[in-house]
């Protein structure tokens, strides 16, 4: 919130939003609703352009199975990251996310080109 004046500059021409949070902090669960509202809904971006990352700190007894987020966050792609246990899995999920963003960009560019031609 201290940097709200910078948000428009951060959001300008953005194609995706990754929200990383600590699922063990109740305050984070409230904050991600605000980040989603500001950075995804108000732009507007598609939900598929947003990735939620529940980051579990080393040694935390993170329960990755029972993290239930309320609507509209429960519509978003959610991955759990624990870099101690499974960094490769997280890397693969990031690659999938970036590929999906690139596909969306290519499709929208093709639509623009077709509308110019026709």
Catalogue the E-assigned strands of 35-86.
Answer: 50-55, 77-81
Q: What pLDDT shows up at residue 2?
A: 63
Q: Is 47 exposed, middle or buried (0-12, 13-18, 19+ CB in 10 A)?
A: middle
Low-confidence residues of the chain, pLDDT below 50? Answer: none
The mean pLDDT of the chain is 86
Cβ pair 106, 66 in contact under 8 A: no
Residue 17, H or E segment:
strand 17-21
Q: What pLDDT shows up at residue 30?
A: 85
pTM over 0.85: no
Would you kindly state where each structural domain of the chain is located, as residue ranges? 15-57+68-117
Q: What pLDDT shows up at residue 69?
A: 87
């Amino acid at each position: 919130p201290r940097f709200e004046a910078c948000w428009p500059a951060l959001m300008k021409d953005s194609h995706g939003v990754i929200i990383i949070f600590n699922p063990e902090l109740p305050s984070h669960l409230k904050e991600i609703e605000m980040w989603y509202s500001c950075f995804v809904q108000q732009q507007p971006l598609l939900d598929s352009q947003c990735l939620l990352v529940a980051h579990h700190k080393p040694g935390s007894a993170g329960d990755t199975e029972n993290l239930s987020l309320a609507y509209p966050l429960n519509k978003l792609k959610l991955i759990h990251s624990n870099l101690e246990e499974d960094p490769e899995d997280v890397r693969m999920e990031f690659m999938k996310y970036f590929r999906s963003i690139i596909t969306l960009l290519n499709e929208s560019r093709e639509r623009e080109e077709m509308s110019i031609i026709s």
